Amino acid sequence: MNTIFSFVLVLGALIFVHELGHFLFAKLFKVRVLKFSLGFGPRVCGKTFGETEYVLSAFPLGGFVKMYGENPDEQNASAADKAASYCYKPAWQRFCIVFAGPLFNFIFPIILFTAVFFFQGVPVSLDTTQIGEVSESSPA
């Protein structure tokens, strides 16, 4: 049971960091984020703050950030909604939003290990190997 809990906890942290990258860059470029979800399937719990619904779903094997303008039926937007639409952003901004997830997954362990080494220190290798005895007819 401990192994399953640890697996879900570590996978959940990786998914959260990945989706947080997409979310933060979407907000940076003023794209309307409709939903931030950790997990797939039926909704377990959630809360809406502003225009974004934050959801924890039943199957913690992934997640997603749903942005306005991703679906083809949302691409015929009014002039006011075009400013907040993903599909009307320049290609370099869309690339940054998509690339931010893997980038955050790359940066996360660097920050994590830096924090661990800062508080715990760098492990020191101690050579405590001692040879007790060498037999006369042995290969040593």
CA atoms lying within 13 Å on the CB side of residue 15: 20
Query: For residue 25, what are the contacts with CB-CB under 8 A and spacing of at least 6?
Result: 96, 97, 100
From 19, 51, 70, 133, the catalytic residue? 19
Residue 51: active-site member? no
How many beta carbons lie within 10 A of that of residue 40, not counting itself?
13
Instruction: Name residue 38's beta-bridge partners.
Output: 56, 63
Q: Yes or no: say if 18 and 99 are a contact pair by the CB < 8 Å rule.
A: no
Q: Which residues have a catalytic role annotated?
A: 19
